[in-house]
Amino acid sequence: MPEAQSPRGRLILVSNRLPIIVREEQGEPSVELASGGLATGLSGPHRESQGRWIGWPGTQSSDGTLAPQVRELLDGRGMTGIPLTEEEYDRYYMQVANRSLWPLFHYFTDRVHFQPGDWEIYERVNRRFAEATAAEAKPGDRVFIQDFHLMLVPAMLRALRPDLTIGFFLHIPFPSSEILRIFPKRRQILEGLLGADVIGFHTLDYTRHFRSSVRRVLGLETSAHGVEFGGREVRLMAQPLGIDAPAWQVPSTEPAIAAELLKLTEAAAGRRIILGVERLDYTKGIPERLQAFQRLLERRPEWVEKVMMIQIAVPSRIAAEEYAGLSDQAHLLAGEINSRFGRPGLQPLHYQFRGVPKETLIALYRMADVALVTPLRDGLNLVAKEFVAARTADDGVLVLSEFAGAAQELGEALHVNPFDPDSIEEAMERGLEMGAAEQAQHMAPMRERVQTQDVHAWTAACLGALNDVRRRRSPRAFLGDEAAKSSETFHGSNKRLLFLDYDGTLAPFCAHPDQATPSPRLLE
């Protein structure tokens, strides 16, 4: 470990996936940087601090090693790759992360599949990440760990490197204590997270759920700001992730955008547009959304020729059985709607099971009269923010699930219960009939908020919290002349009053404050 501490400290980022795409052309690997999301907000501080980004590069290996060429390419970009075998990828990522933690944290307890052997692999991979981070970090560095794949890393890293300032951010919901307590490894999850100095969530509800779980599962006292654990104060913060708003504000006159807008205008043929854009996942509520559209057409048949719905369902984990069944269900619903209400030359529902280019998304967001963002449960949901950011005026209507984290930030949207198709259908109808003045009343404050509370504001808040912890941990040393002057004043005084802290000074830190008692030696 280097002895000299960096005056500023580098930023060490740790995530399941590195923000890259590894390609191979003519037998030679190449690395392409990914854009958007966390990469947009964190790449600047990562680069400016000459830090490292640690994560899996997206390639599996039979022997658990990275090809030397890939390692060299990553190193040149300030990245460290964590190798995973095919078995590790399946059991750590597909089984524990996606089939245990993902459904549990999204309240789909009937979909939770847990195998102790898979958890052992999850622990092994988390330890590999922790060891790589401990080896890479220098004294004074700040470590920022991302998401539910790596919830054991903070405590593992704390044990290896107690000198580091460690932050963790959870990008999915944190469930209520009643849900978390179902999970066999609930204590390990909580203690793993409490290895961090700062734990971030998207909403205050998630911080409240975390505090409740800490009290009920670990028996620890908590406050509105944090948890006392292991002689440290672990700070809890709520900071919703923003988007890169300017990236969605490309002028409509740009050739690629203009071409997409023209295609949509021709396809709509004067009809109003209802838009849904989601990854195909059982948490996103796509079947419920299609059922609500079907109810609208049943109850208001005059809308059949006046409105069209476009639902983009981006393929996701299609190899998993539950996702294949979801895809079949959505396709059947789409076919039923079009067979019942369509006719030659008129298709009310355009269901697209594919990803679409960003230029197409921007055009869709701008052309849509109503955006349906109705997940059954979502940590935040950036689609809602993208729709708002892409608008060129204060028009359009956002229908947003009350169970999306973004609902707490976008209070002007039309909030709905996604489990109630009537609620969604009524909001669709209201949105289609809403006048321009009311649309502006709802949209204008959301546009301003999305533009100011962007991904860079999120980054600044999270790293600011880490910097605060780091500053508090760095004791202010007396300079030579200050120490001499203080000593002279102290010894020359007739009366002296000493102020001493209690916890951590006269008595050791304890999980419960009432257990912090002075030792017999101190009392003597």
In this predicted structure, the answer to whether residue 520 has a pLDDT above a threshold of 70 is: no
Do 178 and 65 lie in a common domain?
A: yes
Domain that holds residue 389: 245-453
What is the pLDDT confidence band of residue 498, given thresholds at 50, 70 and 90?
confident
Residue of 63, 110, 481, 501 marked catalytic: 501
Residue 486, in any domain of the structure:
no
Could you count the other beta carbons within 10 Å of the beta carbon of residue 350?
A: 16
Question: Longest C-alpha distance within the chain, in Å?
Answer: 101
Q: Do 265 and 179 fall into the same domain?
A: no
Region 176-193: mean pLDDT is: 98
3-class DSSP assignment, residue 311: strand
Residue 453 pLDDT > 70, yes or no? yes
DSSP-derived 3-state class of residue 358: helix
pLDDT at 65: 85
Is there a domain that residue 499 lies in?
A: no
Count CB atoms within 10 A of the CB of residue 342: 14
Model pLDDT, residue 477: 41
Within this chain, do residues 408 and 428 fall inside the same structural domain, yes or no?
yes
Give exposure, 175-201, as e/b (b: 16+ Cβ within 10 Å).
bebebbeebebbebbbbbbbbbbbbbb
pLDDT of residue 324: 81
Confirm whether 464 is domain-assigned: no
Mean pLDDT calculated for residue range 504-511 = 54
Average pLDDT over residues 162-168: 97
Evaluate if residue 515 carries a pLDDT over 70: no
**Is 103 in the same domain as 207?**
yes
**In a domain? residue 521:** no
**CA–CA distance, 177 with 212 (Å, rounded to integer):** 6
263 and 311 co-located in one domain:
yes
**CB 128, CB 160: distance < 8 Å:** no
**359 has a pLDDT exceeding 70:** yes
Q: 478 pLDDT band (50/70/90 cuts)?
A: very low
d(C-alpha 355, C-alpha 278), whole Å: 9
Place of tokens 């601090």: 49
Pairing of strands 226-229, 232-238: antiparallel
Considering the domain boundaries, does residue 449 fall inside one?
yes
Query: DSSP alpha helices (H): ranges in 382-511?
Result: 382-390, 421-433, 436-452, 455-473, 480-491
pLDDT band of residue 23 (cuts 50, 70, 90) is confident
pLDDT at 506: 66
Mean pLDDT of 74-90: 95
Residue 60: pLDDT above 90? no
Within 8 A by CB and 6+ apart from 179, the residues are 104, 105, 107, 109
pLDDT for the residue numbered 371: 99
Question: What is residue 2's predicted lDDT score, i.e. its pLDDT?
Answer: 39
Name the more confident of 494 and 415. Answer: 415
C-beta of residue 122 within 8 angstroms of C-beta of residue 152: yes
Provide mean pLDDT across the span 352-362.
96
Could you tell me if residue 470 is inside a domain?
no
**Please, which pLDDT band fits residue 298 given cuts at 50, 70 and 90?**
very high
Q: What pLDDT score does 522 carry?
A: 62
Q: For residue 1, what pLDDT is reported?
A: 38
Band of residue 29 on the pLDDT scale cut at 50, 70, 90 = confident
**pLDDT higher than 70, residue 501:** no
Residue 80 token pair: 């460290």
pTM to 2 decimal places: 0.88
User: Helix-strand-coil percent breakdown of the chain, rounded to 5?
Assistant: 50, 20, 35
Q: Which residue type is seen at 192?
A: G
pLDDT tens string 221-233: 999 889 999 999 9
Weakest-pLDDT range from 19-23, 278-282, 413-417:
19-23
| Residue that terminates a domain, selected from 453, 484, 512 | 453
Once rounded to an integer, what is the mean pLDDT over residues 92-117?
A: 97
Mark which of 430, 453, 476 sits at the end of a domain. Answer: 453
- Tell me phi and psi for residue 495, to 5 degrees: -125, 140
Question: Does 474 reside within a domain?
Answer: no
Whether residues 143 and 203 fall in one domain: yes
Which pLDDT value is given to residue 514?
55
User: Residue 6's pLDDT is what?
Assistant: 47
210 and 308 in a common domain: no
13 touches 53 (CB < 8 A): yes
> Which pair of structure tokens corresponds to residue 31?
């690395």
Residues 144, 292, single domain; the answer is no
501 is an active site residue: yes
Residues 254, 215 share a domain: no
Compute and round to an integer the Cα radius of gyration of the chain. Answer: 26
Distance CA 4, CA 139 (A): 7
Spatial separation of the C-alpha atoms in residues 300 and 170, rounded to whole Å: 42
47 and 171 together in one domain: yes
Same structural domain, 231 and 249? no
- Summarised one tens digit per residue, pLDDT across range 115-164 is 999 999 999 999 999 999 999 999 999 999 999 999 999 999 999 999 99
Q: Which DSSP string do the residues of 101-139 spell out, in sequence order?
A: IHHHHTT-GGG----HHHHHHHHHHHHHHHHHHHHH--T
User: What b/e string do you get for 499-514 counting C-beta neighbours within 10 Å, with b at 16 or more?
Assistant: eeeeeeeebebeeeee
- pLDDT for residue 521: 62
Please report whether residue 488 resides in a domain: no
Burial (CB < 10 A; 0-12, 13-18, 19+), residue 28, is exposed
What's the CATH code of the domain at 384? 3.40.50.2000
**Sign, CA torsion 378/420/273/279:** positive
Q: How many CB atoms neighbour CB 458 within 10 A?
A: 21
DSSP category for residue 78: T
For residue 314, give the 3-state DSSP assignment: strand
Are 86 and 148 within one domain? Answer: yes
The answer, yes or no, to whether residue 394 has pLDDT greater than 70, is: yes
Of 406, 424, 453, the domain-final residue: 453
Closest to 368 (Cα-Cα) out of 290, 272, 236, 302: 272
pLDDT of amino acid 3: 38
**Domains of the chain: total:** 2
In angstroms, the Cα distances linking 172 to 5, 75, 178, 318 are: 34, 30, 17, 21
Say which amino acid occupies 508.
Answer: P
Residue 208: the pLDDT is 98
Give the residue-averaged pLDDT of 176-205.
98
